Structure 1
Amino acid sequence: MSSIPYINIHTHPLHKEADSITVQNIFPGDGFAAFSGRNFYSVGLHPWHLGTKNQNNEAMQMVEEALEFDHVIFVGEAGLDKINGGDFIEQQRVFEAHAVMAEEYECPLIIHCVKAMNEVVELRNKMNPVLPWIMHGYNGSLEFTKQLEEKGFLFSFGKNLFRENSKAVKSFKYLPLNKIFFETDELDSDVDAIYEQAASLKELPIEKLKEAVWKNFNQIENSLIPGRI
């Protein structure tokens, strides 16, 4: 590989960028595009899409089946949402099931969290997971960020880095490079713009930022081996 690629750790639209590695989020039952070594996947039941308990169990079975594929490397996005999610007790049950699968299949967990940070931390304390938990689209306060960092969470940043004086910007500036990732989420754009903004905020050369995130990605993703990409 001639240069370090960008890493887009969470995207919904399919991105095929020559200089990037993407992790596309798909839902239970969705199909995969042809695997090229650069388009990995995450699979999970989003809290916005919960149905009945039986429907959720069927969806979780499909998540587990998808995790049998080598190019499905993350569980999620899954999590808790007190604003737009359904029954909160069922949300918690389904989220815990994702966390169990993440450990069983040795895949990092991508977390959607809205107004439920305490409950996510409580589950982490209960489970004491070995695999990384990554807060996606992170926009938490600096106070929460410090607490989550101490608990071993990792953080993925996206469009909120463009909001001047946002909680995301303050948290991003505080965090060390070995705790961060970047994502486009639902944006139909390339991840290099996120990196450029992040490098400006950290006052770092963009190549140093790419190197740090590439190292982070390799540390959590055991299926990446020399020559595979």
Structure 2
Amino acid sequence: MSSIPYIDIHTHPFHNELETVTVQNIFPSDGFAAFNGRNFYSVGLHPWHLGSKQENNEALQMVEEALEFDHVIFVGEAGLDKINGGDFIEQLRVFEAQAVIAEEYEYPLIIHCVKALNEVVALREKLNPAMPWIMHGYNGSVEITKQLMDKGFLFSFGKNLFREDSKAVKSFKYLPLNKIFFETDELDLNVDTIYEQAAALKEVPVEVLKKAVWTNFNQIEKSLMPGRM
């Protein structure tokens, strides 16, 4: 590779990128777009889209089957949502099932969490996973961030970095570079825009962030061997 690429660790729209490594989030029933060496996938059951227990079990089986494709590299986004999710007991069951799948298949887990931080932390303490758990779209306070970092969580930042009064900005400034990633999620922009905003907040060159996130990505995603990129 001639230079360090940008990394978009969580995006929903398909990006046919040449200069950016993307991880596109899809649901188990979605098809895969063409894989060109820089566009990867995460597959999981979002708490907004759960169905009956039987439907969820069938979808969980599809998640496991999708992990057999070498360009699927993360499980998720999975998680808990007390605002927009459905039956919370079923959310807990499905989230734990995906966390177990991530551990069994040795894939990082992308986490959606709304008003359910205690339950996410409790499950991590219960399972004691070896695989990384990444809080996506992170917007927690510095106090919460300290607690999560001590428990081994990683953090992905996106649109909240553009809100000067957001908790995400304060937490991002606090975190060391080896704990962070960037994402576009559902935003209609390129991830380099988020890198530029993050670099301004950290008061470091963009290239410093690119190098740090590239290192972080390769530490959690062991399958990116020479020749894959």
**Gaps spanning 5+ residues in structure 1: where?**
none
Q: Give the whole-Å Cα distance in 2 for the aligned partners of 1:225 and 1:54.
A: 38
Structure 2 partner of 1:98:
98
Where in structure 1 do 4 or more consecutive aligned residues deviate above 3 Å? none
Letter in 2 for 1:227: G
1:174-193 alignment, distance < 5 Å = 174-193=174-193
Matched residues, number: 229
Shift of 1:16: 1.9
Structure 2 partner of 1:20:
20
Structure 1 partner of 2:221:
221
Offset from partner CA, 1:137-157 (integer Å, 9 cap, x none): 000111110000000000000
Secondary structure of the residue aligned to 1:77 is strand
Contact 1:15 1:190 in 2 (8 A): no
Contact 1:135 1:153 in 2 (8 A): yes
Query: What root-mean-square deviation, in Å, do the aligned CA atoms of Structure 1 and Structure 2 show?
Result: 0.6
Q: Give the whole-Å Cα distance in 2 for the aligned partners of 1:19 and 1:107.
A: 24
Secondary structure of the residue aligned to 1:130 is coil
Structure 2 partner of 1:76:
76
Structure 1 partner of 2:107:
107
Secondary structure of the residue aligned to 1:41 is strand
TM-score (norm 1): 0.99
Contact 1:17 1:190 in 2 (8 A): no
Letter in 2 for 1:162: F
1:1-229 alignment, distance < 5 Å = 1-229=1-229
Q: Give the whole-Å Cα distance in 2 for the aligned partners of 1:227 and 1:201.
A: 34
Q: Give the whole-Å Cα distance in 1 for the aligned partners of 2:54 and 2:228.
A: 39
Q: Give the whole-Å Cα distance in 1 for the aligned partners of 2:227 and 2:29.
A: 30
Percent pairwise identity:
83
Contact 2:4 2:211 in 1 (8 A): yes
Contact 2:17 2:39 in 1 (8 A): no
Shift of 1:165: 2.1
Offset from partner CA, 1:144-203 (integer Å, 9 cap, x none): 100000000000000000000210000000000000000000012110000000000000
Contact 2:78 2:110 in 1 (8 A): yes
Letter in 2 for 1:89: I
